[in-house]
Amino acid sequence: MNNPLLRAKGIHKSYGTGAAEVKVLRGVALEAAAGEFLAVTGPSGCGKSTLLHILGALDLPDQGELEFRGEPVSSANRTWQASYRNLQVGFVFQFYHLLPELSVLENVLIPRMVLHSYWGWRRNARQCRDEAVKLLERMGLQHRLRHRPRELSGGEQQRTAIARALINKPDLLLADEPTGNLDEVTGGTVLGLLGELNRAGQTIIMVTHDAKVAALAHRRVHLSEGVVREKGNPVAERDAARPLMTEVRS
Amino acid sequence: MYKWFLVSKYLRTKLVALFGIAAVTLCVAMVLVVTSVMGGFLDTIRSRSRGLHSELVLESGSMQGFPYYDEFAKKLKQALPDVVRVTSPAIHTAGIFRVPALQYTKLAKVLGIRIDEYVQFNDFKKGLHYEHYYPGTTTLAQQEMLVAGLDNKGNLQLPREWADANAKWRASETDKKTIADFDAHPPDGAPYPDIRPFRRTESVFAFDPDGPFEAGPKRFGAIVGTDLLFDRDQDGKFDRYIARGASVALSLLPLSASGNPLGEPPVLLPLRYVDDSHSGIYEIDSMSVYVDVDMLQHHLAMDPQELEDGSMSKPRVSQLLIALQPGVNLDDAKKRVQSAWIDFCADMADQVTENDAKNMHRAEVATWEDMQRGLINAVEKEKYLMLIILAIVCLVAIVLLGLIFYMIVEKKTRDIGVLKAVGARSRGIASMFIGYAAAVGFVGSILGNTIGAIFVRHINEFQDFLARLNPQLRVWSPDVYSFDRIPDVVKTNDIAWITTVAILASIAGSLIPALVAGRVWPVRALRYE
Ligand SMILES: Nc1ncnc2c1ncn2[C@@H]1O[C@H](COP(=O)(O)OP(=O)(O)OP(=O)(O)O)[C@@H](O)[C@H]1O
Ligand SMILES: [Mg+2]
C-alpha cells in the first residue's frame, strides 16, 4: 500500500505497573487503505479493543506512532485529536453507548452539535436534522426518531450508534464488536449495513472474535500475543456469508 | 453547541438536578430570611438610636452639670452659623418615679427638656402615644387633669380641646382601618381621661359641654417611658391602666456645683402623666421620665443660687443639644464645636469660679453615635456575627453543591466518555458542567428568593399562626425585642448579592468536578462502570 489512509507502527500499550503490568500490545503494525473493510480478530482479552481505541485516538499508545493520511495522530495536540475524533473517524462501540436522556435523532446529531458553535448550529440545524433523518432512514429507523435508547432493541440501538458514527461523514469507521451483543439475525442486519456502507466507499475497521463475522471483510488480521499477523480471506468464505447480509435489504 | 443543548436537557430530565436546585433554593431562602430579618432588626435599632438623640451633644462629664450654656449657644450661632442649626439645653439626673395611687415606685432616668425644641432634634414626637391621636395636646407645662363625661344618652364626651385635636388626626389619617380600630377601642386599650360626674345634682354621669373640663390642682406634666409605666398584654399591646393626667411623682436629689448633696431632704415633685414615649428601645423606654427643663433645673437647685459672698451662681444644665445644618459632616462638626467650646472655656477662664471652671472643663462634645456607643457596638458585633454565620452557611452550600456536582459528574462519566469520543474537547466538557452549575444556581436562586421573600413578607402572620397553635411558639416576643413586629422588608440589594453568591457558589462547587471531568481520556470514562 503506497498511501494508506491509516498507518500504525510499533504500537505498544500496557496497563498497570510493576508486577501487575500487563503488556497488551507489543509493537503492532497495521495499515488500512481507503475503501477497505478490515477485520481484526483474536481471542478475548488479547487487546483488540485497546488497539481500536488507539486507532480512534480514544487512548494514547505508550510507544509507536499512528498516522492518518500521513499526519501524526498520537503525538498531535489534544485539540487536533478532538477534531480527529469528531470528523475523521466514527466509532461504534460494543455496548452502543448512546446518551440515555436523548432521543434517537438527538443522539445521532450530537457529533454535529459538537462540531458547530452555537450560532453555527442555529444556521445549520435544519440541514443537519435532514441529514440525520436520511441517515436513520438508511438504517431503517425512520419510525424511531423520537424514541429514547432504552425503548429500542439492541439492534436498533447499534444501528443508531452507527448513524451517529457516520453523521459527520468520517473517512474511517471503527467498529468494536458491533454484533457482539446481538443475536444472529439482528447481528446479520447490522453486518449487512456495514457491508453496504463499505460498498458505497466507506473504509471500515472492525474488531471481532467471531471468525464468521470477520469473514465478511476484505482482509483479516489476527491479533495475538501483542502483535498482528495477516490472514488470507478466501473469496469462498465471503460468499458463504452472503445470506447473512441479504437480510438487511429486505 | 452541544453544551447548551445538554445543559437544558439535563436540567429537565435529571432528578439530581432537582437536588442541586433544591439545595440552592433552601440555602438562598435561608440566607435571604436571615439577612432580611437581622438586617431589618439592625437598621431599626440604628435608626431608633439616632431618633433618641440630637446629632451633637455638649455633655457634662458629671451630674452637677456645667454653666454658661446659654452664652456658649449664642456664641455657636454667631461663630458657626453654617454648622449649627439650633441648640437646646437639657438636664439628666436620676430619680425615683412613683405612682401614688398604686404606691408603685421605680428607678428613673429623668430628662429635663424643652419639648418644643426637643422634638426638632429627633423622633421623640413620633413615639408619643396621646400626641399621635390628639395632636397638640401634649405639653410639659403646668396643667390640671382633663376630664371627660357621659352625655344623657350615655355617649362619651371628650373635652372640646381633645375632641378638636382628635378630629385633626382623623382628617390627616389616611388609613381607614386605623380610624376604625381607634373607634372600636381607645387606642391600645388606653382609658380616656377620668370620667367624672359634673353635676352631681342631675345625674351621676352627666356631661356639661361648657365645662369645666379640668380637675385637681395644676401640676407640671411628665412624659413617661411606656415600659416604665405599663406592661404589655399577650398580644403585645400596652395595657394603659392609668388615665392621662393621673398624678405621678418624682423624688430627686439636688447637687451643689461641687457635686455635694444639698443639705435638704430629697425633693418630692408631684407631676401629671400627660403622655408616654415609646422609642422602641427597651432600655430607654423602661427608664425615662421627661419633664420640663426649667422646672427641673429649679428643683435640682441648678438655677441661680445665692452664694455665701452674696453673689448669684450661674445656672447649670447637663447637656446642650446641638442640631446641625443639613448636609454637614458629623465628625467634622464635632471637631469644630469641640474646639469652639475649648476656646470658649479659655476666654471665660478668668471670670468663672473654681467649681464652674472644673465643670466646664469636664464637658465634652459627643455625636449621637458616641452617646449610643454601647448599643451600636453590640449591634455591629451582631452584624459581624451574622456575617460569619452567613459565610458558614455559604460555605456549607458550596460544599453541598460540590458534592452534588461530583455526583452528577460521576453519574455522567460514561456520557462524558461518549462526548469525548465524538470529538468534544476538555474545555467544552468543563464549561458544560460549569454552565450546568450556573443554571442550577440561577434557577435555585430564583426559587429561593421567591420563597424567602414570601416567607419574610408574611413572617408576622406565620408567627401569629404558630402562636395561635401554642403561645410558647411565639419566638419574637415584643417584651424581648421591644419591636411589635418582626422586620419584614426584603431589600433588592440583598436579593442581588445573594443571587450572585449563589451562582458563584454553584460554579465554585462544580469547578473541581467539572475540570476533572474535562480531563479524562474517553476510554477511561467509557470503561467506567
Ligand atoms: N484500564 C485497564 N487497566 C488494566 N488492564 C486493562 C485495562 N483495560 C484493558 N485491560 C486489560 O487489557 C487486556 C486487553 O483488553 P481489551 O479490552 O483490549 O481486550 P479485547 O481483545 O477487546 O477483549 P474482548 O474480546 O473480550 O473485548 C485485557 O487483559 C484487559 O484485562
Ligand atoms: Mg473488546
Cell numbers for A46, please give them.
488479547
Q: Taking CB atoms and an 8 Å limit, are A58 and B522 in contact across chains?
A: yes
Assess whether B321 and B457 both reside in one domain: no
Q: B342, B371, B400 — which closes off a domain?
A: B371
Distance between CA atoms of residues B9 and B17, nearest Å: 11
- Quick one: pLDDT band at residue B40, thresholds 50, 70, 90? confident
Assess whether B131 and B28 both reside in one domain: no
In this structure, of A64-78, A179-193, B461-475, B500-514, the range with the lowest mean pLDDT score is B461-475
| CA dihedral sign, ordered B203, B209, B212, B213 | positive
> Is residue A84 within 8 Å of A57, Cβ to Cβ?
yes
Q: Which ligand is nearest to the CA of A224?
A: 1
Distance between CA atoms of residues B368 and B362, nearest Å: 18
CB of A17 shorter than 6 A to ligand 1: no
In this structure, of A42-46, A179-183, B287-291, the range with the lowest mean pLDDT score is A179-183
Residue nearest to atom 4 of ligand 1 (CA): A15
Q: Answer with the residue of higher pLDDT: B445 or B390.
A: B445
Q: Mean pLDDT across chain B, nearest whole number?
A: 84
Q: Which residues fall within 8 angstroms of residue B106, CB to CB, at 6 or more apart?
A: B96, B97, B98, B228
> Is residue B101 within 8 Å of B68, Cβ to Cβ?
no
B3: left (phi over 0), alpha (psi -120 to 50) or beta: alpha
A145 touches chain B (CB under 8 A): no
Assess whether B157 and B286 both reside in one domain: yes
**Got the DSSP string for A45-76?**
TSSHHHHHHHHTTSS--SEEEEEETTEESTTS
Assess whether B65 and B38 both reside in one domain: no
Assess whether B397 and B478 both reside in one domain: yes
Q: Mean pLDDT across chain A, nearest whole number?
A: 88
Question: How many domains, in total, are found in chain A?
Answer: 1
Assess whether B262 and B277 both reside in one domain: yes
Assess whether B462 and B486 both reside in one domain: yes
Best interface-test mutation with B: which of A50, A73, A86 has the largest number of B CBs within 10 A? A86
| Residue B206 pLDDT greater than 70, yes or no | no
Burial classification of residue A18, based on how many CB atoms lie within 10 Å of its CB (0-12 exposed, 13-18 middle, 19 or more buried): exposed
Check residue B210 and give its pLDDT. Answer: 60
| Arithmetic mean of pLDDT, B288-315 | 90
Distance between CA atoms of residues A88 and B421, nearest Å: 12
- Quick one: pLDDT band at residue B479, thresholds 50, 70, 90? low
Domain boundaries, position A200? 6-244
Neighbours of ion ligand 2 (CB under 5 A): A 49
- Quick one: pLDDT band at residue B69, thresholds 50, 70, 90? very high
Counting ligand 1 atoms within 8 A of each CB, the residue from A21, A46, A52, A94 with the most, and so the one to mutate, is A46
Check residue B61 and give its pLDDT. Answer: 83
| Arithmetic mean of pLDDT, B466-483 | 70
- Angle formed by the axes of helices B373-411 and B413-421, to 10°? 60
On whether residue A225 sits in a domain, the answer given is: yes
| CA dihedral sign, ordered B383, B386, B388, B394 | negative
Assess whether B310 and B323 both reside in one domain: yes
- CA-CA-CA-CA dihedral for B102, B191, B480, B101, to nearest 10: -10
Q: Taking CB atoms and an 8 Å limit, are B417 and A97 in contact across chains?
A: yes
Q: Report the separation in Å between the CA atom of B343 and the middle of ligand 2, taken as the mean of its atom positions.
A: 98
On whether residue A249 sits in a domain, the answer given is: no
Residue nearest to atom 22 of ligand 1 (CA): A49
The ligand 1 atom at the shortest distance from the C-alpha of residue A52 is 18
Q: How far apart are the first and last CA of chain A?
A: 36
- Of B510, B54, B140, B129, nearest to B319 by C-alpha is B54
Q: Report the separation in Å between the CA atom of A245 and the middle of ligand 1, taken as the mean of its atom positions.
A: 30
Distance between CA atoms of residues A100 and A150, nearest Å: 7
- Percentage of chain B beyond pLDDT 90 is 28
CB of A16 shorter than 6 A to ligand 1: yes
Q: Answer with the residue of higher pLDDT: B98 or B210.
A: B98
Q: Taking CB atoms and an 8 Å limit, are B422 and A91 in contact across chains?
A: yes
Residue B349 identity:
A
Counting ligand 1 atoms within 8 A of each CB, the residue from A22, A41, A55 with the most, and so the one to mutate, is A22
Q: Report the separation in Å between the CA atom of A42 and the middle of ligand 2, taken as the mean of its atom positions.
A: 10
Q: Taking CB atoms and an 8 Å limit, are B420 and A113 in contact across chains?
A: no
Chain B CB contacts of A78 under 8 Å are 425-426
- Quick one: pLDDT band at residue A244, thresholds 50, 70, 90? very low
| Residue B320 pLDDT greater than 60, yes or no | yes
Cell numbers for B382, please give them.
451582631
Name the range with the highest mean pLDDT among A92-96, B149-153, B460-464.
Answer: A92-96
- Of B294, B228, B296, B220, nearest to B70 by C-alpha is B294
Domain boundaries, position B455? 2-49+374-526
- A85 closest CB neighbour out of B423, B426, B526: B423
| Residue B200 pLDDT greater than 50, yes or no | no
Cell numbers for B424, please give them.
468534544
Chain B CB contacts of A98 under 8 Å are 418
Question: How many domains, in total, are found in chain B?
Answer: 2
**Got the DSSP string for chain A?**
--S-SEEEEEEEEEES-GGG-EEEEEEEEEEE-TT-EEEEE--TTSSHHHHHHHHTTSS--SEEEEEETTEESTTS-HHHHHHIIIIIEEEE-TT----TTS-HHHHHHHHHHHHS-HHHHHHHHHHHHHHHHHHHHHTT-TT-TT--GGGS-HHHHHHHHHHHHHTT--SEEEEESTTTTS-HHHHHHHHHHHHHHHHTT-EEEEE-S-HHHHTTSSEEEEEETTEEEEE---HHHHHHHHHHHHTTT-
- Quick one: pLDDT band at residue A232, thresholds 50, 70, 90? low
On whether residue A47 sits in a domain, the answer given is: yes
Assess whether B30 and B139 both reside in one domain: no
Assess whether B213 and B310 both reside in one domain: yes
On whether residue A1 sits in a domain, the answer given is: no
Check residue B213 and give its pLDDT. Answer: 63
Residue nearest to atom 16 of ligand 1 (CA): A47
In degrees and rounded to multiples of 5, residue B115 shows phi and psi of -60, -35
Instruction: Please count the residue pairs, one from chain A and one from chain B, whose beta carbons lie less than 8 angstroms apart.
Output: 76
| Arithmetic mean of pLDDT, A117-136 | 92
| Arithmetic mean of pLDDT, B384-395 | 81
| Residue B203 pLDDT greater than 60, yes or no | no
- Quick one: pLDDT band at residue B508, thresholds 50, 70, 90? confident
The DSSP element (H or E) to which B85 belongs, if any, is: strand B84-99
Nearest-CA distance B404 → chain A (Å):
19
- At residue B105, the 3 state secondary structure works out as strand
| Residue A246 pLDDT greater than 60, yes or no | no
Q: B371, B404, B421 — which closes off a domain?
A: B371
DSSP state of B200: T
Check residue A142 and give its pLDDT. Answer: 92
Distance between CA atoms of residues B32 and B456, nearest Å: 8
Chain B CB contacts of A93 under 8 Å are 421, 526
- Percentage of chain B beyond pLDDT 70 is 90
Check residue B484 and give its pLDDT. Answer: 64
- Of B216, B218, B217, B197, nearest to B208 by C-alpha is B197
Assess whether B75 and B208 both reside in one domain: yes
In this structure, of A99-113, B327-341, B456-470, the range with the lowest mean pLDDT score is B456-470
Check residue B483 and give its pLDDT. Answer: 64
Q: Which ipTM was obtained for this model?
A: 0.89
DSSP state of B485: S
Q: B350, B371, B392 — which closes off a domain?
A: B371
